[in-house]
Structure 1
Amino acid sequence: MLSRHHWTGVIVLLTFATFASCAQVEDPCKTKSRVVADDKYCDKYWECDNGQSIQYDCPNGLVFAGKHRGVTEGCDYPWRSNYCEYPKVQTNPPIGTEHCDWLYGIFGHETSCTRYWTCWNGTATEQLCIGGLLYNENAHSCDWPENVDGCQKHPLCNEDPNGNVPLGKSCNRYWQCQGGYPRLQRCPAMLVFDRRSLRCVVPPTEDCDVPTTTPPPPEEENQDSRPNTHKSQRPTHGEYQDRQRQATRN
């Protein structure tokens, strides 16, 4: 039976033989970064380790982006990397979990056009597009509805494609539908959004009161309404006795 030391030597020799067979791969040990991309597969790369060229895999769903680049371990999403262009391909098959086609990536929601999933090591986190935007599967980000195929109408504008829609309990912001696409709007200063007329009006309304500011407390004035700049700062006889009693207690 081979010892652990012998197995390590065999693995290094096999890795070196694999690297030697790829004549187009640059030797990472001869580069400044000590890391180079694979010549065929964009989800693999070569790194110089103790003078040996070792091949590594990017996390599932990511591709090589360059040393100290990308989202983790020098790897990034395929659509953001310049190293994953034809004829290069991803050789590792996808490993899917709930809501995630790959362990790492950004994926569209199954039932909503305004939500999507960000997957990190197989764990999905639901995200929401705001400001009237929809998730664009091609751009892997939120985008204007007219740029999103398959979601030409937004649920907020189902009743009136060119009307206004209240925004939660907000008194000055609302959704303005334009051809079925909502745009976040704000009422002009000193106006509030009326949920009945669906427009900006002068307050108060049933839900929003007039904005008020609390005036500062009135300053105390003397009987003659003028400050007495000659008033003595010495304590009165009663104040003096009170201070004496307080000092005796202490």
Structure 2
Amino acid sequence: MTNVRHWASFVAFLVCIGLSSCAQVEDPCKTKSRVVGDDKYCDKYWECDNGQSIQYDCPNGLVFAGKHRGVTEGCDYPWRSNYCEYPKVQINPPIGTEHCDWLYGIFGHETSCTRYWTCWNGTATEQLCIGGLLYNENAHSCDWPENVDGCQKHPLCNDDPNGNVPLGKSCNRYWQCQGGYPRLQRCPAMLVFDRRSLRCVVPPTEDCDVPTTTPAPPEEEDERPVQQQKRPANEYSEAQPGRQRPRN
């Protein structure tokens, strides 16, 4: 294995001699971090290995951010900072899988404004925005509906942009739509939400008796998809990818 690595280092060194661009790259072996970004391509970087400068690729969809930075291997999402500003470009083409434009990234859902996909090594995980928020493709995060182009009205408020909507089987909580944007509300003490009149009334109703302080039944939580917790974009420590093959 050691001989193979030394041979790869030697080949990369010979290739670098023949490329005029290599002379423009800072020698990582002369830096404290021993890792530097490529001068032209933001998804490549150079690392000092046994005294030789070897070029590596960031995982597909990520760009070089610096040693000990980013989500993995010193690489991060392109939109996080100025890691990939002009004239630098991403040279490696996207590798797409189901729901993922790149192997790594955060992408909007194909049919829902309240959902999105987090992709890690080509595996897509469906995520849900909470509290009446919608996925903002430009910010790559959940945002207020008024800031999301193309999804101005939340699905919960399709029937009445200024009406009330039941929340699962809850007896004292409900959604209040304000201009098409839902806001979670709670009935005043000792009142319950009536599903027929869509307002808080004195109990009992057909579905609710006098309110209690007991926890909501499990099925109520199952019917509240927009209230599920959004997973932070950087929670991927359980699936660290291996280093990409050196590019000679």
TM-score where L is the length of structure 2: 0.78
Query: Where do 1:14-33 residues align within 5 Å?
Result: 14=14, 16-17=16-17, 21-33=21-33
Residue 113 of structure 1 aligns to which amino acid in structure 2? C
Partner of 2:72: 72
Measured in 1, the distance between the counterparts of 2:7 and 2:213 equals: 79
Measured in 2, the distance between the counterparts of 1:21 and 1:203 equals: 77
CA root-mean-square deviation: 2.3
Residue 82 of structure 1 aligns to which amino acid in structure 2? N
Shift of 1:29: 1.4
Mapped pair 1:115 → 2:115: yes
Residue 207 of structure 2 aligns to which amino acid in structure 1? D
Measured in 2, the distance between the counterparts of 1:176 and 1:94 equals: 42
Shift of 1:152: 1.6
The change in CA–CA distance for 1:114 and 1:169 in structure 2 (over 3 A counts) is same
Partner of 1:44: 44
Please, which runs of 5 or more residues in structure 2 have no aligned partner?
A: 215-248
Q: How many residues align?
A: 212
Q: Which structure's relative contact order is higher, taking Cα pairs within 8 Å and 6+ residues apart?
A: 2
Higher Cα radius of gyration: 1
Residue 45 of structure 2 aligns to a residue whose secondary structure is strand
Shift of 1:16: 4.2
Contact 2:25 2:38 in 1 (8 A): yes
Residue 136 of structure 2 aligns to which amino acid in structure 1? N
Partner of 1:208: 208
Residue 146 of structure 2 aligns to a residue whose secondary structure is helix
Measured in 2, the distance between the counterparts of 1:142 and 1:213 equals: 31
Measured in 1, the distance between the counterparts of 2:188 and 2:198 equals: 14
Identity across the alignment (%): 92
Partner of 1:187: 187
Contact 1:106 1:116 in 2 (8 A): yes
Q: Deviations over 1:30-69 (max 9, x none)?
A: 2221111111111111111122111110000011111111
TM-score where L is the length of structure 1: 0.77
Query: Where do 1:81-120 residues align within 5 Å?
Result: 81-120=81-120
Residue 164 of structure 2 aligns to which amino acid in structure 1? N
Measured in 1, the distance between the counterparts of 2:105 and 2:141 equals: 12
